[in-house]
Amino acid sequence: MEKKKEGKKDSASKRGISRRAFLKFVGAGAVVSASAGRVAAATSPEAAEPSEKIRVSLLVNGRRRWVVVEPRWSLLFVLREKFGLTGTKV
């Protein structure tokens, strides 16, 4: 009987990934891929409809800066494209 128990463990480990682990992996992948499109559309300045611009004040590197932005623009977009701070990374 001891051999059967050991044999089951060996055959399970030889199969690789378990059913539970596979389903968790596939489920997580589905959630990421489904939400990635929404996040990309929400953060891409080109993807959204143009809207009313607003004036905001930002304190960047110890300096107060005023800029007119659209609400759909991300802070990254403003820092890189409007202020020319290309050292800013995603």
Which pLDDT tens digit goes with each residue over 29-77? Answer: 666 666 655 555 555 555 545 668 889 999 999 999 999 999 888 999 9
The residue-averaged pLDDT of 15-32 equals: 69
Provide the residue type at 77 as one letter: F
Q: Are residues 38 and 54 in the same domain?
A: no
Q: Are residues 56 and 84 in the same domain?
A: yes
Q: For residue 80, which of 63, 56, 60, 62 has the smallest C-alpha distance?
A: 60
- Based on the structure, what is the number of domains in the chain? 2
Minimum mean pLDDT range among 14-23, 53-62, 77-86 = 14-23
The token pair that represents 12 in the structure block: 């399970």
Q: Are residues 39 and 67 in the same domain?
A: no
Q: Which residue has the higher pLDDT, 38 or 26?
A: 26
- Cα angle vertex 18, ends 27, 37, to 5°? 15
Enter the DSSP assignment of 45: T
Range of the domain at 17: 2-43
Q: Are residues 55 and 36 in the same domain?
A: no
